[in-house]
Structure 1
Amino acid sequence: MTPEQMLPKVTQNASYHTPLTVVAVCGNMEIAEALVAKNPKLLDLPGINGQIPVVVAVENKQMEMAQYLYNRTPVQLLFDEDGYHASLLFLNAMYYEMLDIALDLFHMYRRLALTKHEKIESIPIIVLASKPELFPSCCNLGPLKRFIYSCIQTKLPTLSEPSRSNEDRQNTLMGKLLKCLSKWTGIDEVYRLKVMHLQATKLLLGISEEVSTMGLKERSETVDEALLFAVRYGNVDFLVEMIKNNSELLWSTRTSAGTTLFLLAVEFRQEKVFSLLYGLGAAKYLLLADKDNYGNGVIHLAGYPPPNFKLDKVYSPTMQMQHELQWFKEVERVAPKIEMERVNTDELTPIEIFRKEHEAMRLAAEKWMKDTAMSCSLVAALIVTVTFAAIFTVPGGTDDNGRGRPFHLHDRQFVVFIVSDLVSCFSACTSVLVFLGILTARYSFDDFLFSLPAKMISGLSLLFVSIAAMLMAFSSAVFTIFEGPWIIAPTIFLACFPALLFVVIQYALLKELILSTFGKGIFDRNMKSWL
């Protein structure tokens, strides 16, 4: 084909994808290099949706392809006319986490991050505010990966393409082994994560400095909306950096309903954002006294239920109710006392709103607690019946001299059987009583804060102990009756399976209940001054 034959025919009634936009979707580098070498004009031609190949590659998460096409796309093309291609590429590069491209574009034209293009619905700064996962504070790593994260030394990468020598080195046996090792240990993943955090932080610092040069009217059209998005999504890093350099934003930013940043944090149940109040000193009391256009103060908003996407993250209806009570009690603790007596435009106090709006949640939590307690108590009662009967039908039989002494009374396996059976029976009895206490509770709102979750934790824990002890008693009875090493391994394996299955099924519930009830809490009261 000649270079001209590779260009699509565009008629008045139809348009077509170019070969390069098709390749940008699938990420085939070999074909892309051949196409660009044959006709570089393909870099300039948009496809059906009006997007040039580099933008198509970014939208389809083809990172290597996107870097290759970006290095070859003329800068003049990106910023020609109204800068549509540059704006779209910058926005998509942030959304799809290709921050090296976003940083390069930002260095060319800093105001790009704060400018709304008439053909594009969103603004780059709002996209950055809506992605807390780009920043370190939303990084939830396990102990090993957290250690690797702290040890890795990183620097900001450049957009230079990998050379052929680097590729050949990676294809050697040693290169493949190192690549597999870094992938298996998680080092590769953690390294990329830390690089992304560095890039996002540098981009945020630059945008924050650019905001400082804007006028009030220009700022209110873009930055205020970005701050509100940051609160909704819990992007603490974005909020802290923007407000540190532009402290007036803390007081001036409001929604159309008159809701301030921290009122919005309560409404959307963003505990990390609300915890920033503790680092403001006495200024927090002025912020806590704010009200929206409907007369709702901070405690009123804590009385309304949160959005569904926040409730979906909580494990069970009981924990949802507990989480809501923790929010209400904490806001009540830090807000001025007079706020508890104030009424909104509907003539309702905060506690009246809470009870009215959370009644359905309380009923759902009550049903869940009763159903769970009933099911668990049936299992515990069955264990009591079995273990109680087992003590009178001991393994190996008894003598016939009238005393009924077991033949294996002095065997170690028999002693283990007796002790395990007693532990299982008494644990099951206790758990039945605990679950009975749950079934007969009054189920007031305050009971869901500590009393009912604590009873459920103790009941489930005792039930697990009784199951484990029952399995141990059964195994020791088998070892008493059947002598020989051949029976030990299969018995231990089969006995461990039900106990492990119970742990796997109930671990998530128990873990969340324990952390929520006895943990350090969802708020950081030791927040240091940050403004």
Structure 2
Amino acid sequence: MDSERRMDPALYKAATQGKVASLKQLVDPENPSVLSSTTPQLNTALHLAAVHGHAAFAGEVLDRDEELLVAKNDDGDTPLHLAAKAGKLEVAQLLISRAIAWPLDQKSPLIMTNKAGNTALHEAVKSRRAAVAEALLDADPSRAYDLNEQMESPLHMAAREGLVHVVRKIFDFTWVEAEYVPSVAVSGTALHQAVLGGHTKIVDMMLEKHSWLLEQTDSDGNNALHYAAQKNNAQVVELLLTKQAQLAYKPNRERQSPLHVAAHYGSTASIRALLRHCPDVAEMADTSGRNALHVSVVSGKTNALRCLLRHVRPSELLNRVDNEGDTPLHLAARMSRVQSALLLLNDRRVDPCVRDRDGQTARSLVEMKLRTGEMDAYEMYLWKELKQQESKRCRKQQLPPLAPYPGRRASNEKYFECIIETYILVATLIATVTFAAMFSVPGGYGDDGVAVLSRNAGFKIFVISNTVAMCSSIVVVFCFIWAWKDPVRFKVDQLLWGHRLTVIACLAMLVSLMTAVFITVAPESRWPAYVVIVIGMSTPAVVFLMLGKEVIFVPM
């Protein structure tokens, strides 16, 4: 930048602080060229006054050099853009009044765009500056439909941001349907954007004025209900279904209904609302022949699957095959969706005997991993459950042969050895500590060899919990010693129980700790005893919060 174009620090200070007197001293009325100087970001004094909200200073600058009204900085922003972004209403009103009087043969600041293709109205709405946006709309309401580089109009933005008064003002002006252009880059119309934002009031207002907006879709064929189902907004789903229940049956280009979308995203509230209004929508299948149950399994959304199982009644939907011949249970087995598979198995309507096009059941699909040694403990547990269900419910049907337990080579020996050693070490330590605790009981023993606190209720709890911890750990030690004989069978039949017994032993140790502290410390000082009890009781809760339901499964 040339030195003659660089802004004087005194002018910069005057513009940011709005000092009109300083401006008059710095600018020669006969030669206002000093006002054309800029900062490194190409901001003029008018830009600075606009962003800081100094209307009097801005008016004085414009009186001296009106061309600065259309000057752009390095981002392509005019002073009006910056006033709109900052929400400086007084300055914005001044600049708007000057823009309205701008010569017709020159481009108005109201329609000038920055490098993002945004007008001042775009920026005002994007920054949630409702008052400035309304002032800009009063000046030129047609700017509400201008599209930026992302194919977004101010109407789209206002609907998404929940600016009720701005949207109402736009809709109060004459609506020219031919000017309506749906947004492609942001996937949806203004109604879609209002639904995405979860703004029920705006959605209702739009549909009251223009109900035909319900027929509009995005570039993928999704209607507004698809979007509401995705965002799990039951209130908006209810509103849209009340306006037009047929929306639930209108598929997108992949032939996915709103229920498919809700299942894919795990939107349980939307699933309940859709099935309450249109229970037969569960019968709809997409281009792959999959219903919502299939979709929830593929996406791994067990909460959606659980919700569907509770609200979908016909059993044939639970056993429906897709274009590849797979039921939801087949997909869960093939994709190792263990939790989804177990949910399906727990529902008596699900048939584990169904065979796919290759003659495979869900059990035989899981066995394919068993043969290659790629199966983990969760899948082995699932395999066991599938075998049990087949033996109970498929006795009169022809099924693929059961695979034998594979030999040692099929297991991951290195990892298996590590986990077995860990469990044995933990169980041994628990057994040792609890055994020692029985010979150094709280309060000690009397001269007659009887525990001093033997009649105390807390002492009895200590003895029982300590015994439970010791015996549980002993069982784990002995069971895991035999794990080497047949590792795979052990993984399926005993590893999960060994893990749970270890958890029980740890919990019993906590109980014995709390009772031992309480009966020995509480008689003299109660608050330390209570603190220990609180810490002890919170320990399992912390573990469960960190690991969730995984805590009851083997970490393999």
TM-score range with shorter-chain normalisation? 0.5 to 0.7
CA-CA distance at 1:353 after TM superposition: 1.0
Note if 1:385 corresponds to 2:432: yes
1:295 aligned residue (325, 341, 344): 325
CA contact 2:262–2:271 (8 Å) conserved in 1: yes
Query: Would you say 1:427 and 2:520 are equivalent positions?
Result: no
For the structure 1 residues 463 and 365, does the alpha-carbon distance in structure 2 shift closer, same or farther, using more than 3 Å as the test? Answer: farther
Which residue pairs with 1:490 in the alignment?
528
Residues 334 and 365 in structure 2, CA contact (< 8 A), matched pair in contact too: yes
Report the count of equivalent residues: 404
| In structure 1, distance between residues paired with 2:247 and 2:444 | 87
Question: What are the ranges of 5 or more consecutive residues in structure 2 without an aligned counterpart?
Answer: 1-93, 100-107, 381-411
- Partners of 1:12 and 1:421 in 2: how far apart? 77
Post-superposition Cα deviations, 1:274-307, rounded to whole Å, max 9, x if no partner, equal 4268623xxx34x46643333334543342226x
Structure 1 position 255 matched with structure 2 position 286: yes
Question: SS of 2:244's equivalent?
Answer: helix
* Equivalent residue number for residue 134 of structure 1: 233
Q: Which residue matches 1:506?
A: 543
For 1:225-244, list aligned pairs within 5 A: 225-234=257-266, 235-237=270-272, 239-240=274-275, 243-244=278-279
- Structure 2 counterparts to residues 206-355 of structure 1, below 5 A: 206-209=243-246, 224-234=256-266, 235-237=270-272, 239-240=274-275, 243-244=278-279, 247=280, 253-268=284-299, 270-272=304-306, 274-275=308-309, 279-280=313-314, 284-285=315-316, 287=317, 290-305=320-335, 321=338, 323-327=339-343, 329-330=345-346, 333-335=348-350, 339=354, 342-345=355-358, 347-355=359-367
- Report the CA distance between 1:374 and its aligned residue: 6.1
Amino-acid identity (%): 16
* Deviations, residues 384-440 of structure 1 (Å, cap 9, x unaligned): 4345445545677778xxx5758xx65x59957854653353122123035347745
CA contact 1:78–1:85 (8 Å) conserved in 2: no
Instruction: Describe the shift of the 1:398–1:228 C-alpha distance in structure 2 as closer, same or farther (beyond 3 A).
Output: closer
Is the 1:84–1:117 Cα contact (8 Å) retained in structure 2? no
Greater mean alpha carbon deviation, residues 468-477 or residues 423-432: 468-477
Q: Normalized against structure 2, the TM-score is what?
A: 0.57
Contact kept in structure 1, 2:264 and 2:296, CA below 8 Å: yes
Structure 2 distance, partners of 1:111, 1:241, is 25
Counterpart of 2:208?
A: 107
Are 1:91 and 2:192 matched, yes or no? yes
TM-fit CA distance, 1:25? 2.7
Contact 1:417 1:474 in 2 (8 A): no
Verify: 1:201 aligned to 2:298, yes or no. no
Q: Which amino acid aligns with 2:325?
A: G
* Residue of 78, 90, 96 corresponding to 1:3: 96
Computed over aligned residues only, the root mean square deviation of the Cα atoms, in angstroms, reads 4.7
Cα 1:296–1:445 change in 2 (3 A) is: farther
Q: Please say if residues 121 and 133 of structure 2, whose CA atoms lie closer than 8 Å, have aligned partners that are also in contact.
A: yes
| Contact 1:266-1:298 within 8 A present in 2 as well | yes
SS class of match (1:17): coil
Q: Is the 8 A contact 1:380 1:432 kept in 2?
A: yes
Distance 1:515 1:389 in 2: 28
Residues 1:72 and 2:174 aligned together:
no
Question: Does the CA contact (< 8 Å) of 2:182 and 2:189 recur in 1?
Answer: yes
Partner of 1:19: 120
Distance 1:78-1:123 versus aligned 2 partners, 3 A rule: farther
Q: Which runs of 5+ in 1 are unaligned?
A: 136-196, 213-217, 312-320, 517-531
Name the CA distance, whole Å, in 2 between partners of 1:122 and 1:394. 70
Residue 104 of structure 1, CA deviation: 2.4
Q: CA offset at residue 109 of structure 1?
A: 3.6
Structure-1 residue corresponding to 2:223: 123
Instruction: Judge conservation of contact 1:9–1:15 (CA < 8 Å) in 2.
Output: no
